[in-house]
Amino acid sequence: MIKVGSSARAMFPARRGVPVLGLVAVAGSMLSLHAPTSAQTGPSLDDAVARHTAAVTRLRHEIHRNPELSNRETETAALVAKHLRDLGLDVRTGVAKTGVVGILRGGRAGPVVAVRADMDALPVTEATGLPFASTKRVTFGGQEVGVMHACGHDIHVAVGLGVASVLAERRETLPGTVVFIFQPAEEGPPEGEEGGAPLMLEEGVFERPRPEAIFALHTMPDYEVGQLAYTPGPAMAAADTWRATIHGRQSHGARPEDSVDPVVMAAQAVMALQTIRSRNISPTAPGLVTVGVLRGGERHNIIPASVRLEGTVRTFDPAVQDMVERRMNEILDGVTKAGGGSYEMTYDRVVPVLVNDVALADRMAPSLARSVGAENVHVIPAVTTAEDFAFFAQEVPGFYFRLGTTRPGGTSGGLHTPTYTGDDGAIPVGIEALSTLVLDYLGDAR
């Protein structure tokens, strides 16, 4: 039988029949066939999680109340570094500007595994009504904006610190080394700056020592507290950004014959770009082309000289990615030539596909079931959002799972919205699940 963490089961009873994104429950009997040898000692893990939950929850409140945008996470980084040093970890700061790396070396020989938590917030004005809600405002993109942990990274940090606290207690018997990576700028660095996972890798986050696997979680308000989910294989899309300018000839709005109208060409281009999804990508393959910006003109009676378009492309296959970029150029070239104008486009491949290593996912799924119960672990389809954990998972096998954050019977806004409400109850569930993954991985690899 797969043992279920007693504290998690007692505090967060199973939610049955969850109709979220067509979830498929992972059968406990199937999981038990692949269960690894556990390095944990049962109830003591639950006790350790319970001992540290209150402290890291207070830290979560402090971080939530004082959110910081990408590459600006100085106070958060200082809080993280202090906590890790207090636990006796070897700590490096200033990695990729504000990143923090803590190394926990066990007292027994064993493999090296990494745990990643991202720290940055978003330019969103909070409207949750939480007692620790953010009221912070900063200048972003030339305008004053609110700042909020609207993606749950405050919970990620709290869970990461909780896992470090739990495992540090077991240092003498821990068979291996755990590298805790607290990452800045997951949401993307400010324009003109480098940052995030690529810069951490460039600056040697996987050196001295190099992990052989990496784990991470992400909050998900679609699921209640006590629920976990994951996707084997390609789990999140590659994210590309593009910008195009369509050039025409300006004229009086009452004399269109004197113009080469970029507004008409832009309208035709927007519609034609959607044929890539409907006619060039297989109906059974995921992928999309989105136009998020269409901007041009200054006055109602002036046909402008140019129109700007911006958008995103999401795909799961590099061949499809290549095809979409080629077809976009062909469409923009054809539309503007037909209209007598011209275009220019830049196309940037920002984040690759996030791939959960299938062998690692199969190996670690029983650990998730052990922490919350097999009936509370779900396999879900891939999604078209993106995550720069993908860069880490390109370097070493990665396993990325979802943590339910909506209070049972409660409500929450979606990620990246002003009303996203991550419940504190998710923190001990995340600590137990992530600690179990690490301990089982280290114990199984002895």
Band the pLDDT of 420: cuts 50, 70, 90: very high
pLDDT given at position 16: 32
| Cα(205)–Cα(95) distance, integer angstroms | 8
Calculate the dihedral angle through the C-alpha atoms of 356, 362, 368, 369, rounding to the nearest 10 degrees.
Answer: 150
User: To the nearest whole number, what is the mean pLDDT of the chain?
Assistant: 91
Do the Cβ atoms of 79 and 102 come closer than 8 Å? no
Strands 377-379 and 228-230: parallel
Predicted pLDDT at 42: 43
* Res 34: pLDDT: 34
The predicted model gives 382-404 an average pLDDT of: 97
Residue 339: the pLDDT is 98
CB atoms under 10 Å from CB of 390, counted, come to 22
Which of 112, 369, 86 lies closest to 215 in space, CA to CA? Answer: 112
Domains 6-237+353-444 and 241-351 share a fold: no
Which of the four pLDDT bands, split at 50, 70 and 90, describes residue 5?
very low
Class of the domain covering 241-351: alpha beta
Name the band, by pLDDT with cuts 50, 70 and 90, for residue 408. very high
* All structural domains of the chain with their residue ranges: 6-237+353-444, 241-351
Q: What is the pLDDT averaged over residues 111-124?
A: 98
Q: Is the pLDDT reported for residue 429 higher than 70?
A: yes
Mean pLDDT of 159-172: 97
Query: Residue 396: is its pLDDT beyond 50?
Result: yes
Judge whether residue 355 has pLDDT over 80.
yes
pTM: 0.88
Q: For residue 327, what pLDDT is reported?
A: 98
> 6-237+353-444: what CATH class?
alpha beta
- Band (pLDDT 50/70/90 cuts) for residue 129 is very high
CB-CB neighbours of 430 under 10 Å: 29
**pLDDT at residue 38 tops 50:** no
Helix (H), strand (E) at residue 399: strand 398-406
Task: Give the list of residues 6+ apart from residue 129 with CB closer than 8 angstroms, or none.
Answer: none
Continuous segment of H or E residues that includes residue 425: none
| pLDDT above 90: percentage of residues in the chain | 89
CB 146 within 8 A of CB 123: yes
